[in-house]
Chains A and B, each alone.
Chain A
Amino acid sequence: MTGTTGPHLETSYDAPLSIEEVEAQVQDRRVRRRSRARISAVIYPVMTVVGTLVAWEFATRAFGIPAYLLPAPSQIAVSLAENAALILKHGWVTTIEIVLGFLLSIVVGVPLALAIFMWPAFSRSVLPLLVSSQAMPKVAVAPLFLVWFGFGLLPKVLIAFLIAFFPIVIGTAVGLASIEQEKIHLARSMGLGTAATFFKIRLPSALPSVFGGLKISITLAVVGAVVGEFVGGDAGLGYLLMVANGNIDTPLLFAGLVALTVQGVVLFFLVELVERLAIPRQTAAVVAGLA
């Protein structure tokens, strides 16, 4: 080990070993490395979160920060526990809005992308409109929706939809367009018709990109629903945040934020779960690429 710099090679030579012995040794090392990696994948993020919470708790106490400015994690936890029923009730309302907005985004976004892909004339006429609709701050449209659709569920669903559908359109259209031309040539030489080519080749090829759009969309649907509740409503986590804010109940405000975060993460992973089930091969390839 003299004179070497940088990381050491994982090698040892005490005595010549047979290939079987080396085999066992190398395989054993791999198993140990794997289990270490698996443990650290859990331990590290947990330690980071716990460390942050402890520092936060400690800081608020040490510096005497009032709860209405920045509540300690323990106070937020207490508020979460005390208001559990309330948060669940409002969380349910928000969930319905998000899911409906998201589903509407799929129902509108995917066919829209198909039309854009299939008819260039349609694409040329609609795409500029679509892009400018996205450049427009959708939060600003929320009051208008309130005027048009009242204070109920509908305006929230529509705002969630308006914010969330665009990534689905783009993801689907890009997925459909980015197919290898050879695959289409191959299909033609097999005598595969347009519809069969679409369902057997084009659509499955596009799915990874479609799911990319869906995952962005679900997180945006959460934003849309909460914005809708901010502007006008009598239910939902966004409404709860406004109420907590009005009462200067900052711990409840934080509790609502925690609930929204958990909700967003759960919904995101549900979409990802569907992705894994729908396209296991392609997802595995992408995950392997990231790792």
Chain B
Amino acid sequence: MADPGLSTTLTRPGEPRATPADAPAARPYLEFRNLTKVYATDDGPVRALDQISLAQRQGEFLSILGPSGCGKSTLMMIAAGLLPASNGLVVVRGQRVVAPRTDIGIIFQSPVLLEWRTALGNIMLQAEARHLDRRGAERRARELLTAVGLAGFEGKYPDELSGGMRQRVSLCRALIHNPPQLLMDEPFGALDALTRDQLVLDLQRLWNETRMTVLFITHSVAEAVFLSDRVIVMTPRPGRIDRVIDIDLPRPRTLAMRESPEFNGYNRQILDLLLARGVLREC
């Protein structure tokens, strides 16, 4: 099949819940099978992704790392069912994705908040869309805001919040419905270094509590190593899987661990790869 066609409704992943009977190791949560994406443009076809095959375990924190333009964001959009692949399949818990997935929380590089809604109102949009019990959802929203250090900011509007605060609200919105999977597209790319560190720590804590299956798109080597169970390094365009690196560091990881030889070993390994591919150059 050349184009699976997202508009046709075959089966829908729906909102699968983690069940103990479902052996997580046996069946991956998310799978890409020979995923290829080519964009047709006036200057001819542009190859974005070339034959990506990948399986993500349930509860795994998986990072996709690569230079700008390697198709990382395209991959996330396809994984979310928001963009059709040109060839290949996305499979979630054994079912082919043919429509936008709703079993996910999604976070973009920009917070994508509605300007006319308060922080709490923006988070509650998710609850309204899913017809969650209003009172319970509001309590959970407040808990999440507290968890990311935004207690007391429920009534603030996006234009009254800093960039980091807005992205935190966006994180809460992606988590309020306890999604089995979190998709994050360079979520901290636009933030300053300290805010980034804090949000990475917050994210690790939240992941540790929920053990969601996280697909994390980034171009930060340190961020990928710090957070992930596995890092997928992509080649520059067209995006192919260059190397899969298992990050075998104890959890929870601490900031001090970033200075450890093991951590730096992983960093080095990825940097060497990027140097070899010409993504980075040393004079």
Please give, as numbers and ranges, the residues of chain A lying within 8 Å of B46 by CB-CB distance: none
Please give, as numbers and ranges, the residues of chain A lying within 8 Å of B128 by CB-CB distance: 200
Please give, as numbers and ranges, the residues of chain B lying within 8 Å of A196 by CB-CB distance: 129
A281 at the interface (CB under 8 A from B): yes
Which of A191, A196, A205 has the largest number of chain B CB atoms within 10 A? A191
B115:A282 contact, CB within 8 angstroms? yes
B115:A189 contact, CB within 8 angstroms? no
Chain A residue with Cβ nearest B77:
A185
Bound complex: CA of A210 vs CA of B114, how far in Å?
17
Within 8 A of A (CB), among B85-127: 100-102, 104-106, 108, 110, 112, 114-116, 125-126
Please give, as numbers and ranges, the residues of chain A lying within 8 Å of B126 by CB-CB distance: 190
Given contacts A191-B102, A192-B129, contact A183 B114 (CB under 8 A): yes
Instruction: Quote the shortest CB–CB distance from A46 to chain B (angstroms).
Output: 33
B153 at the interface (CB under 8 A from A): no
Chain B residue with Cβ nearest A190:
B129
A188:B125 contact, CB within 8 angstroms? no
A186:B106 contact, CB within 8 angstroms? yes
Bound complex: CA of A282 vs CA of B130, how far in Å?
27
Bound complex: CA of A10 vs CA of B80, how far in Å?
55
A180 at the interface (CB under 8 A from B): yes
Chain B residue with Cβ nearest A208:
B115
A200:B125 contact, CB within 8 angstroms? yes
B207 at the interface (CB under 8 A from A): no
B263 at the interface (CB under 8 A from A): no
Bound complex: CA of A285 vs CA of B100, how far in Å?
33
A182:B112 contact, CB within 8 angstroms? yes
Chain A residue with Cβ nearest B183:
A189
Chain A residue with Cβ nearest B173:
A186
Instruction: Quote the shortest CB–CB distance from A76 to chain B (angstroms).
Output: 45
Please give, as numbers and ranges, the residues of chain A lying within 8 Å of B115 by CB-CB distance: 281-282, 285
- Interface size of A by Cβ–Cβ distance < 8 Å? 21
Chain A residue with Cβ nearest B159:
A285
Please give, as numbers and ranges, the residues of chain B lying within 8 Å of A180 by CB-CB distance: 110, 112
- Residue from B101, B114, B157 within 8 A of A201 (CB atoms): B114
B112:A282 contact, CB within 8 angstroms? no
- Residue from B102, B114, B157 within 8 A of A189 (CB atoms): B102
Instruction: Quote the shortest CB–CB distance from B103 to chain A (angstroms).
Output: 9
A212 at the interface (CB under 8 A from B): no
- Residue from A183, A190, A281 within 8 A of B102 (CB atoms): A190
Within 8 A of B (CB), among A127-185: 180, 182-183, 185
Given contacts A185-B80, A281-B157, A281-B159, contact A190 B125 (CB under 8 A): yes
Instruction: Quote the shortest CB–CB distance from B108 to chain A (angstroms).
Output: 5
Bound complex: CA of A101 vs CA of B75, how far in Å?
51
A204 at the interface (CB under 8 A from B): yes
Number of cross-chain contacts by CB at 8 Å: 55
B102:A185 contact, CB within 8 angstroms? no
A185:B114 contact, CB within 8 angstroms? no
Bound complex: CA of A183 vs CA of B113, how far in Å?
8
Bound complex: CA of A200 vs CA of B130, how far in Å?
13
Please give, as numbers and ranges, the residues of chain A lying within 8 Å of B157 by CB-CB distance: 281
Bound complex: CA of A183 vs CA of B77, how far in Å?
13
Bound complex: CA of A23 vs CA of B249, how far in Å?
49
Please give, as numbers and ranges, the residues of chain B lying within 8 Å of A187 by CB-CB distance: 129
- Residue from A183, A188, A192, A200 within 8 A of B112 (CB atoms): A183
A279 at the interface (CB under 8 A from B): yes
Chain B residue with Cβ nearest A207:
B116
Instruction: Quote the shortest CB–CB distance from A67 to chain B (angstroms).
Output: 54
Given contacts A180-B112, A191-B102, A282-B115, contact A185 B82 (CB under 8 A): yes
Bound complex: CA of A201 vs CA of B102, how far in Å?
18
Within 8 A of B (CB), among A182-223: 182-183, 185-192, 196, 200-201, 204-205
Please give, as numbers and ranges, the residues of chain A lying within 8 Å of B108 by CB-CB distance: 182, 185-186
Chain B residue with Cβ nearest A184:
B82
Please give, as numbers and ranges, the residues of chain B lying within 8 Å of A182 by CB-CB distance: 108, 110, 112
Within 8 A of B (CB), among A236-291: 279, 281-282, 284-285
Please give, as numbers and ranges, the residues of chain A lying within 8 Å of B104 by CB-CB distance: 189
A281:B116 contact, CB within 8 angstroms? yes
B106:A185 contact, CB within 8 angstroms? yes
Which of B114, B115, B129, B130 has the largest number of chain A CB atoms within 10 A? B129
Instruction: Quote the shortest CB–CB distance from B257 to chain A (angstroms).
Output: 33
Please give, as numbers and ranges, the residues of chain B lying within 8 Å of A189 by CB-CB distance: 80, 82, 100-102, 104-106
- Residue from B82, B114, B116 within 8 A of A188 (CB atoms): B82
6 A-B pairs with the lowest CB-CB distances in the bound complex, closest first: A190-B129, A188-B100, A191-B102, A192-B129, A182-B112, A189-B106
| Chain A residues within 8 Å of B, Cβ to Cβ | 180, 182-183, 185-192, 196, 200-201, 204-205, 279, 281-282, 284-285
16 additional A-B pairs beyond A185-B108, A188-B100, A200-B129, beta carbons within 8 Å, are A182-B108, A182-B112, A183-B114, A185-B100, A188-B82, A189-B82, A189-B100, A189-B106, A191-B102, A200-B125, A281-B116, A281-B157, A281-B159, A282-B115, A285-B115, A285-B159
